[in-house]
Amino acid sequence: MAKKTESIYKSWEEVNSALKELGELNIQKQKFEGEQTVKINEIKAETLEKAGIIKTKITEIEKNIEKFALQNKSEFLKTRNKKLTFGVVSFRLVKSVVCQCKDEAIKALKALNLDFCIRAKEELDKDECLKFAESDEKTLLKAGITIKAEDKVKIEPDYVKLAANQAE
């Protein structure tokens, strides 16, 4: 059988006083939470500002590495990557589907019985177009779709070596 517990309060006046104390404690709690939120927002703003500066510097360095790699692209003819002490710079072939008029291309693909190159929501399935282009790019050209291939620079810092170098 469960024990019945009795309240510490013996009268409504005591309950009323307890309600007052409860309200004051909730107000204090909300005040502390408000101060916490303000401090968190200040820290977030400060961090965002510092990270923005770093992000800008990262973008600048990546663009300059990419420019240097493009200027020295002849070194990537035999091997597609250059392993350096602190990372790897490499070229990778990236293919994308380019279409001038999607509606016309969809109609043409349907007429050519290439429905598998069309997604259910009536848009080009670029992945399927890329696969199909490997065997028959000329048919896609009839639909007004061309395959564009370009070399993109891939930059991968070696964080393990960087950490080891900083430890020395």
C-alpha–C-alpha distance, residues 68 and 60, integer Å = 12
Q: How many CA atoms lie within 13 A of 148 on its CB side?
A: 9
pLDDT for residue 1 is more than 70: no
The maximal CA–CA distance of the chain, rounded, in angstroms, is 92
Residue 4 φ then ψ, to 5°: -90, 130
Per-residue confidence (pLDDT) for residue 142, from 0 to 100? 92
Q: Domain locations in the chain?
A: 11-71, 81-157
The owner of tokens 């300059």 is 64
- pLDDT, one tens digit per residue, over 89-109 is 999 989 999 999 999 999 999
pLDDT at 17: 85
Output 45-51 pairs: Cβ under 8 A, ≥24 positions apart.
Answer: none
Instruction: Encode pLDDT of 110-145 as tens digits.
Output: 999 998 998 877 888 999 999 999 999 999 999 999
Answer yes or no: are the C-beta atoms of 143 and 105 closer than 8 Å: yes
* pTM: predicted TM-score of the whole model, two decimal places: 0.52
Report the pLDDT value the prediction gives residue 156, as an integer from 0 to 100: 76
| Overall average pLDDT of the 59-86 stretch | 93
What is the spatial distance between Cα 146 and Cα 33, in angstroms, rounded to a whole number? 58
Q: Position 113: which residue type?
A: N
Mean pLDDT of the chain: 89
